[in-house]
Amino acid sequence: MYLSPRFRAFAAGAALLAASALAQAQQALPNVVILATGGTIAGAGASAVNSATYAAAKVGVDKLIAGLPELSKIANVRGEQVFQVASESLTNDNLLTLAKRVSALSKQADVDGIVITHGTDTLEETAYFLTLTVRTNKPIVVVGSMRPGTALSADGALNLYDAVSVAGSKDAAGKGVLVTMNDNIDSGRDVSKNVNIKTSAFSSQWGPLGMVVEGKNYWFRAPVKRHTMNSEFDIDNISTLPVVEIAMGYEGVSSIAIDAFAKSGVKAIVHGGTGNGSVANRIVPNLQKARTDGAIIIRSSRVADGFVIRNAEQPDDKYDWVVAHDLRPQKARILAMVALTKTSDTKELQRIFWEY
Ligand code: DGL
């Protein structure tokens, strides 16, 4: 088909204008990096009705991004596959590797926000570790899903869209590591998985920080505990994590676990006690001996909500024990590992448990 020189010049000019408008539009969008680690959000089931029976950690980050073209309208997104594992199988070394990558990216001028896709089983532990150790004000958002993308009413796509939207939001800066699940924006410190099969699995006893709806953030409170830029810890100065184990309290509890932990030379034992961190009288001597032999003893509670009162159920001053405040055993373990990279002084440790 003949095109006049004048039309060809017009078409070329229009194409140039369109290209520059697109480039300008993309420049206006935030740059968000998605670090993928596995989990259900990367899971796949045999059929659409398999909302609970499926294989986690199957779908790669590029496929996750390609499967959500709406992301390109809210951010310039690129992905990195850090791991491809179910989160219950993550290790301390995985945690260090991930946090160091987040820290390095947060220092790049061409990165405005970071999303970590993660299995929901230990998402709360990773989110807390990152908020304690990554020194940045940029938004870091950890996200997962309770159903694989292959299932009816899968929740991963909207959770991921919300995570990228929040990670690219200027008003999400300086709030510590965040978790976007089921329309909520939760604090990485406060949130836990409280239901093991519902899309509304995640919540905090202190409530969400806000909500994200159709790409807009609605904030209702801000964290008061120290985090990120206000933390005294820095992942760039942490190369290994001390061994901290958890011993649960329950009717009929024996000292087998505590004695084994103490004998193995753990740095600290978190006791997930009943009620307000109660300890069965028959195992108090075992914890006292573990303390005498050098292990730090941290009294937490198996009860989901509330917080352990120092010197209430046990004479913590007399025994030289630390209380975990409102932190559940799994979160208390994260803080204990980080704190013990800096100090073993129990008064300093207790301050850290009050402040973080
Ligand atoms: N295996 C669990 C995990 O990777 C699946 C649960 C999920 O990711 O929602 O945490």
Give yes or no: residues 165 and 56 share one domain.
yes
Evaluate whether residue 267 is within a structural domain: yes
Check residue 17 and give its pLDDT. 81
Give yes or no: residues 287 and 182 share one domain.
no
Check residue 25 and give its pLDDT. 67
User: 3-class DSSP state for residue 134?
Assistant: coil
User: 3-class DSSP state for residue 244?
Assistant: strand
**Virtual CA dihedral for 338, 343, 349, 355, nearest 10 degrees?**
-60
Evaluate whether residue 90 is within a structural domain: yes
pTM score of the predicted model: 0.93
| Residue appearing with tokens 């301050």 | 351
Considering its fold, how many domains does the chain have in total?
2
* 308: containing domain: 243-355
Ligand 1 centre to CA of 313 (Å) is 35
Distance between CA 286 and CA 308 in Å, rounded?
Answer: 20
Mean of the per-residue pLDDT values of the chain: 95
Pocket-testing residue among 51, 91, 120, 191, ligand 1, by greatest number of atoms within 8 A of Cβ: 120
**Virtual CA dihedral for 95, 100, 106, 108, nearest 10 degrees?**
-150
Using an 8 Å Cβ cutoff, are 144 and 123 in contact? yes
Distance between CA 36 and CA 119 in Å, rounded?
Answer: 10
Give yes or no: residues 151 and 284 share one domain.
no
Instruction: Say if ligand 1 is within 6 A of residue 143 CB.
Output: no
Active site residues: 40
**Residue owning the nearest CA to atom 1 of ligand 1:** 86
| Ligand 1 atom with least separation from CA of 201 | 9
Q: What is the DSSP string of 10-58?
A: HHHHHHHHHHHHHHHHHHHSPEEEEEEEESGGG-B-SSTT-SSSSBSS-
Ligand 1 centre to CA of 344 (Å) is 33
Region 141-163: what's the mean pLDDT?
Answer: 95
| Statement: residue 23 has pLDDT above 80 | no
The percentage of residues in the chain with a pLDDT greater than 70, rounded to a whole number, is 99
Ligand 1 centre to CA of 57 (Å) is 8
Instruction: Say if ligand 1 is within 6 A of residue 120 CB.
Output: yes
Evaluate whether residue 7 is within a structural domain: no
Evaluate whether residue 313 is within a structural domain: yes
Region 21-49: what's the mean pLDDT?
Answer: 86
Q: Out of 230, 256, 279, pick the residue that ends a domain.
A: 230
**Residue owning the nearest CA to atom 3 of ligand 1:** 119
Torsion region of 101: left, alpha or beta (phi above 0 gives left; psi -120 to 50 gives alpha): alpha
Evaluate whether residue 17 is within a structural domain: no
Evaluate whether residue 5 is within a structural domain: no
Task: List, in sequence order, every beta strand (DSSP E) within 88-207.
Answer: 113-117, 140-143, 178-181, 184-187, 192-193, 202-203
Q: What is the CATH number of the domain that holds 121?
A: 3.40.50.1170
pLDDT in tens, 327-349: 999 999 999 999 999 999 999 99
Give yes or no: residues 62 and 198 share one domain.
yes
Give yes or no: residues 100 and 173 share one domain.
yes
Distance between CA 40 and CA 25 in Å, rounded?
Answer: 33
pLDDT in tens, 76-117: 999 999 999 999 999 999 999 999 999 999 999 999 999 999
Region 248-256: what's the mean pLDDT?
Answer: 98
Distance between CA 275 and CA 34 in Å, rounded?
Answer: 40
Pocket-testing residue among 50, 116, 121, 124, ligand 1, by greatest number of atoms within 8 A of Cβ: 121
Ligand 1 centre to CA of 145 (Å) is 8
Ligand 1 centre to CA of 68 (Å) is 20
